[in-house]
Amino acid sequence: DSGVTQTPKHLITATGQRVTLRCSPRSGDLSVYWYQQSLDQGLQFLIQYYNGEERAKGNILERFSAQQFPDLHSELNLSSLELGDSALYFCASSRAGTSGRIIDNEQFFGPGTRLTVL
């Protein structure tokens, strides 16, 4: 158990709908990362938040958005869903501080949310 929790485990919805995925990082971790894993693309970075602020963006679609709350949990919002959005969505967390210690950069992944768009 990595200490990162994600809900829900599974989500089945229809095209055009909107869903929210939730992530709680490990205790003490300030940084949250979202990744998408599909069969044809592998694991792709979407977005990173650090202590409530957006830090980096990957190939995240405009239909997708995220935020990190004061208690450091994060939500990924996916709207106007398409069939191609069906994938596993993972959240990872790290301390990502400025201590310079390598151990602070290790990213630990949650169990993922499996999204199926019908």
Partner 1 sequence: QKEVEQDPGPLSVPEGAIVSLNCTYSNSAFQYFMWYRQYSRKGPELLMYTYSSGNKEDGRFTAQVDKSSKYISLFIRDSQPSDSATYLCAMSGIEGNEKLTFGTGTRLTIIP
Closer by beta carbon to partner 1, 8 or else 16? 8
* C-alpha atoms less than 13 angstroms from C-alpha of 68 in its C-beta half-sphere: 22
Residue 114 is a binding residue for partner 1 (CB under 8 A): yes
Residue 96 is a binding residue for partner 1 (CB under 8 A): yes
Closer by beta carbon to partner 1, 75 or else 104? 104
* Binding mask of the shown chain, residues 6 to 35, with x at each position contacting partner 1 by CB under 8 A: -------------------------x-x-x
Report which residue type is found at 41.
Q
45-74: contacts with partner 1 (CB under 8 A): 45, 48, 50, 56, 58
**Alpha carbon of 57 to those of 22, 50, 71: distances in Å?**
18, 12, 21
Token reading at 93: 């967390």
Q: Is the dihedral of CA 49, 56, 106, 109 positive or negative?
A: positive
